[in-house]
C-alpha cells in the first residue's frame, strides 16, 4: 500500500496548492470555463446530426447475419421474406369488437373500403398507389402486386364468398397444384381458429396487408400515414407501419426530452439549494449550490460540443447523458462543500480552500477516474450505441471534474471571502455574529445576526465553531455506534442475505432482447402496430432462406442426399415446422417430378437433369422456383440455389435467437456449404451478443476498478471490500431490474456500465474516508468517515434520483428503463456505502504502517509525559469526538485528521517535509505570541501544516 499512500500524499499536496491558487486568483478560473463552454457549445452543436440507423446502432459490429446477407447478395439473391424489412408499408386490421375479421360481410366491406381509400388517395405529386405499385403480369392483365389474402378478398367480394372457397391455413392451394404448396398465409392471418380435424379456417382475428412500391416511397408513405391516421370506422381498427416509421419515431425522442431536462435541472437546483441551507445566514450557501448545478450544465455543453467536433454521431441514447452528468456534478459539489464545512471557519480563505481541496479533490479524483474508466471500458463494446453513449459520458465526467476543481472551486473561494467578512448570504451585507448582536432587535437577531466572531488564532483551544447539518450529526452520532454492535451486524447479515437471494433469483428471470416498440414513444402508432403483430403473427415465423452459395453438381446422389439430410434435420428440430408441409424445396419437388413423369434416370445425368429442369419443370410446374436457382454458362451449370423453411412459434426474442442458432447449426454440418438467413436475424444478433458482451464489460470494468482502488485507497483489504460492493450492487441491479420489468438489452447494458462507476463512487468515498482516519477505535473511524462523506453520499443518491425521476414520466421505454436502473443503482449504492460496507470496514485488519507508528508514538508519549498532557495543536478540521460532549481519551491524544497527508516524523528523526518557514511558524505557536491570525511568518502564501505532536 506504499503506492497508494504515495499517490494520496501527492494528490493532497497538489490540490492544497491548487486550492490556494484558485482562492488567490479566482477570476481566470471562472472566466475560462465560461468562454470554453461558449465556444465548444456554439461550434459543436452546429455539427449535431442525430443518427437513426437502427442496424448500425442496435446490432453488434461482428454481426454474422450481415455477413450472410452479403453472401446472398454476391450470388444475386434477395431475401424471400420481405414482409417486415422489404415492404413499403403494412397495416394490421382487426374487428372493433375483437371478433372475426374475414367472414362477416359488414366487417369485410369495411376492410375493402379502407383499401380503396388508400389505393385512390393522391400523393403530393398527384400519384396514386396504382401508379406507383409493383405490378405483376403484362399489358391489360397486369395488376398491382398485393398480399395474398387481400387479393383473395378482392376476388371474392364478400365475407360469405370467401368462406365458401374453403380457405386453408397456413397455405391455400386453390388449384391443387402438384409441386406447389400454394399461397402462403402464415404471415397474413393472425389469431386463426381452425376446424378441429383439418386446416380450414373458421375465423381470423387479424389480417395483415403488405404494400410494395417501385418508386416515390417517401411521398406515398406520407399519404399512407395521413390516410391511416384519419380513417374512421366503427367496425374495424387499423394499425399501421412504414419502412421509415421506427427511424422517424426514434429521431423524435431527443426533441421530446428537452422539457424533461429543464424540469430535472429545476428540481436539482431546488434540492441543492435546500441541502446547502443552514440556520446560520452567513454559513449557508444557496448561491454556491446554484453555481454547482451551473458547473454541471457547463460540463454537459462543453463535452457534447467537443465530441461533436470530433465527428462522432449523436444517438437517442445520448439524450440520457445530461441527466446523468447533472447528478455526477452535484455529487462532487456536495463533497467539496462538506470538505469546506469540515475546515475551521476561522482560517484565512486561502488556507481553508487549500485544506478543503486537499480533502475533497482527492476523493472526487478517485470517483471521477473510476467513472471515466468504467465508461472507457464501455467504449470497447460491440454495440455502437453503447460505445457512442460511453464516449459522451466519459468526456462529460472529465469536463465535470475539471470544472469542479476550477470554476466551482473559484466560486466557493468567493463564498469563503463572504463568510470571512461575515456577510449575509442573500444581501452580502456585513452582519454581526449572534454573540455580538444581543443589543439588536429580535428581527435582526432572527434574520441577520449570524457567523463567527474572529479569534486571534485558529489553532487556539477555543470552543468548536464548525456547525454540522442535522443529517450529518445523526449519521456519526447514532448510525456509527449502532453499526459496530454485534446484534446490529447479525440483523444486517440476515437482511443482506435476503437482498442477495432475491437478486440472484431475479437474475434467472431476465428477458433478453430489445423490442422494436420499445424504441418509440408509448403513444406512437409504431407501438400500436407491433403489439398486435407480436400477439397474432408469431406462430409462423418469417421464411428462413437456406442458400447454397457455391456451384454444386445437383445431379449427383451425394449432393441430393446432403440436401435431403438438411431437410430431415429441420424436421427433427423443435424450432421448425415439418418441411414437407411448409417448406418449398425445388430439388425435392424436382426429383419427385422426375420420378412421377418416368424420368428417374435424369436425376443422375447432368445433361438430362438440366434440360428437363429448364425446359419443363420451371416454366410449367415449378414457376415459383424461378427465382430460387441461379444458372451460368447458358444454363450449363447451377452456381447457387436456395429453399426456405418456416420457424415454429417465435413469440419471444430469446426463442427467435435460439431458432437462428439452430438453423445455423444445421446448415453448417455436412459436406454442402449453406447459409441460413432472414432479415430478422440481423436484429436477433443483439440477443446473441448482449449477455456475453455485458459479462465481458462488467468483468473488465470490475478488474479496472480493483486496480484503481488499489492505487488510490491506502489499505490492502479495503480494496477487496470495494470490489465486493461493486459486484454485489451489480448483481442486485440485474436481479431487481428484471423483477421490475426491465429487459437485458442495450439500454440496461448501458445502465450496468453506469452502475459500475457509481457503485465504486459510493464505496470509494466511505472507504477512503475510513482508512484515512487517524482515529484508533472503529467507532471513531466510522464516525469521522460519516462526518466527512455520509451526507454527501445521501445527497448524491437523492440528487441523481431527482435528476432522473422526470424520466419516470417520459412516455418511452428507453428513458423509463434508464430511470428504473439508475434508481436501483442509487438505492443499492447508498445502502452499501452507508450500511453494508461500513459494517465490513469495522472488522478491517490494520495493514497501514502509519497507524501502527501512531500507536507506538501514543504509547511512548504516555510513558514520557508522566501524567502531564502533551503539548499539541488543534488541527484545521475537527474530528467528531471533539465536537460532541464526549470526554477526551485519558491520554489527551489529539488525533490527526485526514485533511492533509500525514507529516508526522518518524521517532527520533526530523520530518523532512518541514520547510524553514513551517518550523518558524511552529515556534511562533509554541511561544504563545498573539499577533493575530495572519501572522507575518505566513504572509498569506505558506501552508498551515497539521501537526499532532511537537
Give the residue from 335, 591, 405, 582 showing the smallest Cα distance to 26. 405
- Using 50, 70 and 90 to split pLDDT, how confident is the model at 881? very low
Same domain (yes/no): 410, 427: no
Pairing of strands 637-645, 544-548: antiparallel
- Extract the C-alpha cell encoding 34: 465560461
Which residues span the domain enclosing 218? 89-242
Q: In angstroms, rounded to a whole number, what is the distance separating the alpha carbons of residues 126 and 122?
A: 5
The answer to the question of residue 889 being in a domain is yes
Same domain (yes/no): 439, 290: no
Query: What b/e string do you get for 540-573 counting C-beta neighbours within 10 Å, with b at 16 or more?
Result: bbbbbbbbbbeebebbeeebbebbeebbebbeeb
Residue 456 clears pLDDT 50, i.e. is over it: no
Residue 465 clears pLDDT 50, i.e. is over it: no
Question: Which of 242, 266, 291 represents a domain boundary (last residue)?
Answer: 242
If one compares 778 and 233, the residue with the highest pLDDT of the two is: 233
The answer to the question of residue 858 being in a domain is no
Q: What is the pLDDT of residue 459?
A: 47
Considering only CA atoms, give the Rg of the chain: 37
| 532 sits in which H/E element | helix 525-536
The answer to the question of residue 73 being in a domain is no
Quote the DSSP letter at residue 452.
Answer: -
- Three-state SS letters, 279-299: CCCCCCCHHHHHHHHHHHHHH
Average pLDDT over residues 227-251: 90
Same domain (yes/no): 104, 142: yes
Q: What is the pLDDT of residue 392?
A: 94
Q: In angstroms, rounded to a whole number, what is the distance separating the alpha carbons of residues 210 and 208?
A: 7
Residue 113 clears pLDDT 80, i.e. is over it: yes
Average pLDDT over residues 222-239: 92
- Using 50, 70 and 90 to split pLDDT, how confident is the model at 466? low
Q: What is the pLDDT of residue 332?
A: 80
Q: In angstroms, rounded to a whole number, what is the distance separating the alpha carbons of residues 59 and 56?
A: 6
CA atoms within 13 A on the CB side of 19: 30
Residue carrying C-alpha cell 453472401: 71
Range name among 75-84, 460-469, 691-700, 773-782 with the lowest pLDDT average: 460-469
The answer to the question of residue 945 being in a domain is no
Indicate which CATH number applies to the domain containing 22. 1.20.1640.10
CB 645 within 8 A of CB 652: no
The H-assigned helical ranges of 257-383 are: 258-275, 286-309, 321-342, 349-378
Same domain (yes/no): 263, 365: yes
Residue 471 clears pLDDT 50, i.e. is over it: yes
Average pLDDT over residues 295-320: 91
Average pLDDT over residues 30-44: 93
Q: What is the pLDDT of residue 844?
A: 65
**Based on the number of CB atoms within 10 Å of its own CB, is 515 exposed (0-12), middle (13-18) or buried (19 or more)?**
middle
Q: Where in 840-916 does DSSP place strands (E)? A: none
Q: What is the pLDDT of residue 275?
A: 74
Residue 660 clears pLDDT 90, i.e. is over it: yes
- Extract the C-alpha cell encoding 450: 449570524
**Based on the number of CB atoms within 10 Å of its own CB, is 3 exposed (0-12), middle (13-18) or buried (19 or more)?**
exposed
The answer to the question of residue 200 being in a domain is yes
Per-residue pLDDT tens digits for 700-728: 888 887 787 777 676 667 778 888 888 89
Same domain (yes/no): 401, 425: no
- Using 50, 70 and 90 to split pLDDT, how confident is the model at 359? confident
Q: In angstroms, rounded to a whole number, what is the distance separating the alpha carbons of residues 833 and 828?
A: 8
Residue 382 clears pLDDT 70, i.e. is over it: yes
Same domain (yes/no): 639, 784: no
Using a pLDDT cut of 70, give the percent of the chain over it.
84
Q: In angstroms, rounded to a whole number, what is the distance separating the alpha carbons of residues 635 and 626?
A: 13
Question: Which of 632, 647, 677 represents a domain boundary (last residue)?
Answer: 677
Residue 457: count other Cβ atoms within 10 Å of its Cβ: 18
CB 431 within 8 A of CB 449: yes
Q: In angstroms, rounded to a whole number, what is the distance separating the alpha carbons of residues 926 and 870?
A: 12
Same domain (yes/no): 104, 146: yes
Residue 172 clears pLDDT 70, i.e. is over it: yes
Give the list of residues 6+ apart from residue 142 with CB closer than 8 angstroms, or none.
135, 136
Same domain (yes/no): 256, 327: yes
Q: In angstroms, rounded to a whole number, what is the distance separating the alpha carbons of residues 21 and 410?
A: 9
Same domain (yes/no): 560, 638: yes
If one compares 427 and 23, the residue with the highest pLDDT of the two is: 23
Range name among 222-236, 694-708, 726-740 with the lowest pLDDT average: 694-708
The answer to the question of residue 849 being in a domain is no
Range name among 645-654, 705-714, 875-884 with the lowest pLDDT average: 875-884
The answer to the question of residue 663 being in a domain is no
Same domain (yes/no): 753, 877: no
Residue 861 clears pLDDT 90, i.e. is over it: no
Q: What is the pLDDT of residue 908?
A: 40
If one compares 711 and 558, the residue with the highest pLDDT of the two is: 558
CB 281 within 8 A of CB 129: no
Coil, strand or helix at 871: coil
Q: Please give the full DSSP string across 104-127, using - where no structure is assigned.
A: -HHHHHHHHHHHHHHHH---TTS-
Q: What is the pLDDT of residue 846?
A: 56
Residue 880 clears pLDDT 70, i.e. is over it: no
Range name among 189-198, 453-462, 463-472, 656-665 with the lowest pLDDT average: 453-462
Q: What is the pLDDT of residue 214?
A: 82
Coil, strand or helix at 812: strand
Give the list of residues 6+ apart from residue 862 with CB closer than 8 angstroms, or none.
891
The answer to the question of residue 939 being in a domain is no
- Using 50, 70 and 90 to split pLDDT, how confident is the model at 934? very low
Give residue 98's region: left, alpha or beta (phi > 0; psi -120 to 50).
Answer: left
Per-residue pLDDT tens digits for 495-533: 999 999 999 999 988 888 888 788 888 888 999 998 899
Q: What is the pLDDT of residue 229?
A: 92
Range 116-122, long-range pairs (CB < 8 A, 24+ positions): 117/227, 117/231, 118/211, 118/224, 118/227, 118/228, 121/223, 121/226, 121/227, 122/223
Q: In angstroms, rounded to a whole number, what is the distance separating the alpha carbons of residues 446 and 428?
A: 16
Range name among 70-84, 436-450, 903-917 with the lowest pLDDT average: 903-917
Give the residue from 149, 146, 157 showing the smallest Cα distance to 207. 149
If one counts the domains in the chain, the total is 5
Q: Please give the full DSSP string across 580-608, using - where no structure is assigned.
A: HHH---HHHHHHHHHHHTT-GGGGG-HHH
Same domain (yes/no): 485, 573: no
User: Hey, which residues does 211 pair with through a beta bridge?
Assistant: 89, 146
Range name among 126-135, 143-152, 257-266, 354-363 with the lowest pLDDT average: 354-363
Per-residue pLDDT tens digits for 140-157: 667 888 889 999 999 999
Q: What is the pLDDT of residue 141?
A: 67
Using a pLDDT cut of 90, give the percent of the chain over it.
27
Question: Which of 643, 677, 711 represents a domain boundary (last residue)?
Answer: 677
Q: What is the pLDDT of residue 876?
A: 40
Q: What is the pLDDT of residue 227?
A: 92
Average pLDDT over residues 827-832: 89
Q: What is the pLDDT of residue 429?
A: 77
The H-assigned helical ranges of 625-745 are: 653-668, 680-712, 716-739
Same domain (yes/no): 236, 198: yes
Average pLDDT over residues 818-822: 89
Q: What is the pLDDT of residue 231?
A: 92
Give the residue from 405, 402, 388, 383 showing the smallest Cα distance to 304. 388
Mean model confidence pLDDT for the chain: 81
Residue 357: count other Cβ atoms within 10 Å of its Cβ: 30
Q: What is the pLDDT of residue 716?
A: 67
Give the residue from 614, 606, 608 showing the smallest Cα distance to 630. 614
Amino acid at each position: 500500500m506504499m503506492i497508494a499512500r504515495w499517490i494520496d500524499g501527492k494528490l493532497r499536496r497538489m490540490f492544497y496548492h491548487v486550492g490556494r491558487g484558485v482562492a488567490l486568483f479566482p477570476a481566470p478560473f471562472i472566466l475560462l470555463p465560461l468562454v470554453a463552454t461558449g465556444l465548444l457549445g456554439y461550434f459543436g452543436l452546429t455539427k449535431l446530426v442525430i443518427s437513426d440507423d437502427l442496424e448500425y446502432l442496435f446490432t453488434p459490429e461482428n454481426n454474422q447475419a450481415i455477413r450472410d446477407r452479403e453472401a446472398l447478395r454476391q450470388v444475386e439473391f434477395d431475401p424471400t421474406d420481405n414482409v417486415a424489412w422489404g415492404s413499403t408499408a403494412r397495416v394490421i386490421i382487426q374487428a372493433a369488437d375483437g371478433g372475426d375479421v374475414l367472414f362477416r360481410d359488414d366487417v369485410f366491406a369495411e376492410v375493402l373500403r379502407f383499401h380503396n381509400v388508400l389505393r385512390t388517395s393522391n400523393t403530393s405529386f398527384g400519384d396514386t398507389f396504382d401508379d406507383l405499385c409493383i405490378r405483376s403480369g403484362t399489358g391489360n392483365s397486369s395488376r398491382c402486386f398485393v398480399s395474398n389474402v387481400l387479393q383473395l378478398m378482392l376476388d371474392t367480394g364478400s365475407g360469405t364468398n370467401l368462406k365458401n372457397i374453403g380457405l386453408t391455413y397456413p397455405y391455400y392451394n386453390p388449384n391443387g397444384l402438384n409441386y406447389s404448396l400454394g399461397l402462403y398465409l402464415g404471415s397474413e392471418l393472425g389469431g386463426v381458429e381452425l376446424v378441429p380435424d383439418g386446416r380450414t379456417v373458421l375465423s381470423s382475428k387479424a389480417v395483415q396487408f403488405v404494400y410494395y412500391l417501385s418508386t416515390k416511397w417517401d411521398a406515398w408513405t406520407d399519404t399512407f400515414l395521413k390516410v391511416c391516421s384519419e380513417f374512421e370506422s366503427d367496425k374495424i381498427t387499423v394499425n399501421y407501419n412504414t419502412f421509415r416509421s421506427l427511424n422517424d419515431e426514434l429521431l423524435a425522442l431527443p426533441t421530446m426530452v428537452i422539457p424533461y431536462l429543464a424540469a430535472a435541472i429545476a428540481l436539482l437546483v431546488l434540492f441543492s439549494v435546500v441541502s446547502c441551507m443552514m440556520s446560520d445566514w452567513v454559513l449557508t450557501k444557496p448561491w454556491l449550490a446554484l453555481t454547482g448545478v451551473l458547473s454541471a450544465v457547463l460540463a454537459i455543453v462543453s463535452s457534447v460540443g467537443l465530441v461533436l467536433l470530433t465527428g462522432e454521431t449523436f444517438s437517442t441514447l445520448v439524450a440520457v447523458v445530461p441527466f446523468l452528468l447533472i447528478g455526477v456534478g452535484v455529487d462532487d459539489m456536495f463533497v467539496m462543500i462538506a470538505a469546506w464545512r469540515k475546515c475551521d471557519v476561522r482560517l484565512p480563505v486561502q488556507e481553508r480552500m487549500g485544506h478543503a481541496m486537499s480533502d475533497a479533490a482527492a476523493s472526487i479524483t478517485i470517483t471521477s477516474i473510476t467513472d471515466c474508466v468504467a465508461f472507457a471500458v464501455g467504449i470497447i463494446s460491440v454495440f455502437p450505441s453503447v460505445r457512442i453513449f460511453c464516449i459522451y459520458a466519459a468526456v462529460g465526467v472529465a469536463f465535470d471534474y475539471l470544472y469542479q476543481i476550477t470554476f466551482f472551486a473559484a466560486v466557493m473561494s468567493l463564498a469563503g471571502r463572504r463568510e470571512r467578512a461575515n456577510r449575509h448570504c442573500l444581501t452580502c451585507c456585513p452582519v454581526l455574529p449572534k454573540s455580538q448582536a444581543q443589543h439588536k432587535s429580535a428581527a435582526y437577531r432572527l434574520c441577520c445576526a449570524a457567523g463567527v466572531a474572529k479569534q486571534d488564532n485558529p489553532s487556539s483551544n477555543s470552543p468548536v465553531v464548525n456547525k454540522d447539518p442535522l443529517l450529518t450529526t445523526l449519521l456519526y452520532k447514532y448510525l456509527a455506534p449502532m453499526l459496530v454492535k454485534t446484534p446490529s451486524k447479525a440483523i444486517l447479515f440476515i437482511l443482506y442475505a435476503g437482498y442477495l437471494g432475491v437478486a440472484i433469483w431475479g437474475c434467472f428471470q431476465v428477458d433478453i432482447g430489445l423490442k422494436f416498440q420499445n424504441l418509440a414513444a408509448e403513444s406512437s402508432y409504431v407501438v400500436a402496430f407491433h403489439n398486435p403483430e407480436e400477439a397474432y403473427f408469431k406462430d409462423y415465423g418469417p421464411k428462413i432462406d437456406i442458400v447454397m452459395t457455391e456451384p454444386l453438381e445437383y445431379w449427383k446422389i451425394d449432393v441430393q442426399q446432403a440436401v435431403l439430410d438438411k431437410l430431415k434435420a429441420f424436421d427433427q428440430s423443435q424450432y421448425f415446422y415439418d418441411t414437407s408441409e411448409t417448406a418449398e424445396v425445388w430439388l425435392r419437388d424436382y426429383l419427385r417430378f422426375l420420378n412421377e413423369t418416368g424420368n428417374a434416370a435424369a436425376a443422375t445425368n447432368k445433361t438430362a437433369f438440366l434440360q428437363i429442369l429448364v425446359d419443363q419443370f420451371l416454366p410449367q410446374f415449378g414457376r415459383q422456383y424461378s427465382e430460387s436457382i441461379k444458372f451460368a454458362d447458358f444454363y450449363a451449370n447451377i452456381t447457387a440455389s436456395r429453399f426456405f423453411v418456416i420457424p415454429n412459434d417465435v413469440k419471444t426474442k430469446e426463442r427467435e435467437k435460439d431458432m437462428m442458432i439452430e438453423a445455423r447449426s444445421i446448415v453448417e454440418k455436412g459436406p454442402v456449404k449453406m447459409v441460413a438467413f432472414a432479415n430478422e436475424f440481423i436484429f436477433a444478433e443483439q440477443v446473441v451478443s448482449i449477455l456475453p458482451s455485458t459479462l465481458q464489460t462488467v468483468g473488465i470494468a470490475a478488474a479496472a476498478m480493483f486496480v484503481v482502488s488499489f492505487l488510490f485507497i491506502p489499505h490492502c483489504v479495503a480494496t477487496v471490500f470495494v470490489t465486493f460492493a461493486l459486484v454485489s450492487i451489480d448483481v442486485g441491479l440485474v436481479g431487481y431490474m428484471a423483477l421490475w420489468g426491465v429487459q437485458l438489452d442495450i439500454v440496461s447494458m448501458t445502465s450496468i456500465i453506469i452502475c459500475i462507476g457509481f457503485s465504486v463512487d459510493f464505496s470509494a468515498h466511505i472507504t477512503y474516508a475510513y482508512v484515512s482516519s487517524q482515529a484508533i477505535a472503529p467507532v471513531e473511524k466510522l464516525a469521522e468517515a460519516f462526518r466527512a462523506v455520509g451526507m454527501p453520499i445521501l445527497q448524491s443518491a437523492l440528487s441523481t434520483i431527482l435528476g432522473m425521476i422526470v424520466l419516470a414520466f417520459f412516455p418511452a421505454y428507453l428513458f423509463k428503463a434508464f430511470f428504473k436502473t439508475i434508481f436501483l443503482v442509487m438505492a443499492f449504492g447508498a445502502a452499501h456505502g452507508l450500511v453494508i460496507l461500513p459494517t465490513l470496514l469495522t472488522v478491517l485488519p490494520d495493514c497501514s504502517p502509519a497507524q501502527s507508528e501512531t500507536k507506538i508514538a501514543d504509547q511512548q508519549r504516555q510513558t514520557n509525559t508522566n501524567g502531564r498532557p502533551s503539548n499539541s495543536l488543534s488541527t484545521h478540521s475537527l474530528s467528531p469526538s471533539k465536537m460532541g460532549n464526549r470526554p477526551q481519551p485519558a491520554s489527551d491524544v489529539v488525533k490527526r485528521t485526514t485533511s492533509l497527508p500525514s507529516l508526522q516524523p518518524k521517532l527520533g528523526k526530523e520530518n523532512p517535509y518541514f520547510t524553514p518557514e513551517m518550523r518558524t511558524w511552529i515556534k511562533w505557536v509554541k511561544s504563545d505570541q498573539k499577533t493575530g491570525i495572519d501572522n507575518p511568518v505566513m504572509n498569506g502564501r505558506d501552508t498551515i501544516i497539521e501537526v499532532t505532536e511537537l
